[in-house]
Amino acid sequence: MVVGDFAIETDTIVIGSGPGGYVAAIRAAQLGQKVTIVEREFIGGVCLNVGCIPSKALISAGHHYQDAQHSEVFGVTADNVKLDFAKTQEWKDTKVVKTLTTGVEMLLKKNKVEIVRGEAFFVDDHNLRVMTETASQTYSFNNAIIATGSRPIEIKGFKFGKRIIDSTGGLNLKEVPKKLVVIGGGYIGSELAGAYANLGAEVTILEGSPSILPNFEKDMVKLVLNNFKSKGVEIVTGAMAKEAVETENGVTVKYDVDGKEQSIDADYVMVTVGRRPNTDDMGLEQAGVEIGERGLLPVDNQSRTNVPNIYAIGDIVAGLALAHKASYEAKIAAEAIAGKKVAVDYVAIPAVCFTDPELATVGLTEKEAKEQGMDVKASKFPLAGNGRALSLNATEGFVRLVTRKEDGLVVGAQIAGVGASDMIAEVGLAIEAGMVAEDIALTIHAHPSLAETVMDASELALGMPIHI
């Protein structure tokens, strides 16, 4: 019982409305629960508002700008190609982001999910308070799903301001910088560096490790490096960022390479060195929820924390910070609350980077499979052997299928090239369904299509390739 305040009762309360939160709320409502979702900032969370979606919009705009200038190979030329970046940003914000976030809010309402604005703070394991600047309200719940996401890490010497920005700031610049420094060559840094290079910026990436995109295999990353080089992007590896000093019209970035201090002047410096889980300042201790290393919440295979009626999903639990991982965990948590026999299984979770070319991976690499004691083979089919890729003038890249030698079981795949983000889904399904290479080879693929490369890779795995 909450003393001194009337508590509104709900079956399940969801904290956060990103790809984890809103999916959890809708699925819980579909399963007959009375659901309340709490959002402190904007419906759709980081992904829809200042992450996955707007970044892909800028990447798309950059591709169109490049195509308009460089389509001579098709016999298409254009003079005086101009970029109205204010219009680009307006399209991104109104036609893309607003359309999606409005749609998500409509879906929540359609499923009779109560939307509450404010900051959530746990009172105990069955009550929390939602606070705004002017009021507060207590909610009593049977179950809670925490989906509060993450925020950019601010590093020493790089306090965010006008010229020192995080990825959110990078997505909302009013003009294309003449010079842009990106600190961190992971997913976010590489994607936005590529987007602004395509839009006309002179870009430098400072990466502390020996290579950008360390989560992808070297032959995949090499394609991105070659593309960056062709566009004049400078990549400095082994670089330790020291500090950034804002000036009236720009910023000076100081960094060390092999113990030698160097500096570079730019219009902006964007820091993309990782994200921190939003698990602080919400009263988790009051609810008895255990907080693990780096602020992550330990959970079981149903996304349940150490407190049986409180669940956690997305960026605040272990694993890659991927929107689709959060949505997957959201459904598991909601169904577990409903009493269904479900458990998370990450064997076929894809990871995609929207660089030029696109990179995508699912399941195991050849090295990972061998480390697990599997006897596997890797079958690599080049996009240069595909008719559709040729007609798109986009032949850089490949499809690599990793299969078990004894029976052809598909255990992983890596795709680099045009359409990789879409094609990886077929292999994910194959892994999830326990298919062998012959199953893919016997599936009739449309011609001409990029997806034929997956079929070709499976035939290569069977030792009977047609197109190589």
- Catalytic residue IDs: 447
- Do the annotations mark residue 311 as ligand-binding? no
User: How far is the C-alpha of 24 from the C-alpha of 19, rounded, in Å?
Assistant: 8
- Do the annotations mark residue 150 as ligand-binding? yes
User: How far is the C-alpha of 57 from the C-alpha of 180, rounded, in Å?
Assistant: 19
- Do the annotations mark residue 188 as ligand-binding? yes
- Do the annotations mark residue 56 as ligand-binding? yes
Query: Which residues are bridge partners to 381 per DSSP?
Result: 399
Backbone angles phi, psi at 33, to 5 degrees: -90, 150
Closest CA to 62 of 88, 86, 80, 87: 88
Which amino acid is residue 234, in one-letter code?
Answer: E
- Three-class SS string for 198-255? HCCCEEEEEECCCCCCCCCCHHHHHHHHHHHHHCCCEEEECEEEEEEEECCCCEEEEE
Parallel/antiparallel/unpaired status of strands 119-124 and 127-131:
antiparallel
SS3 409: strand
* Number of alpha helices (DSSP H) and beta strands (DSSP E) in the chain: 15, 22
Which token pair is 354? 């929207």
- Do the annotations mark residue 315 as ligand-binding? yes
- Do the annotations mark residue 185 as ligand-binding? yes
Length of the chain: 468
- Do the annotations mark residue 187 as ligand-binding? yes
- In our burial notation (b when 16+ CB lie closer than 10 A, e otherwise), range 63-92 reads eebbeeeeeeeeeeeeeeeebebeebbeeb
SS3 167: helix
Query: Which residues are bridge partners to 436 per DSSP?
Result: 409
Which token pair is 238? 């082994």
> Rounded to a whole number, what is the distance in angstroms from the first to the last CA of the chain?
71
Question: Can you tell me which residue has the tokens 């020192």?
Answer: 164
- Do the annotations mark residue 190 as ligand-binding? yes
Annotated binding site for NAD(+): 184-191, 207, 274
Annotated binding site for FAD: 56, 148-150, 315
Annotated binding site: 56, 148-150, 184-191, 207, 274, 315
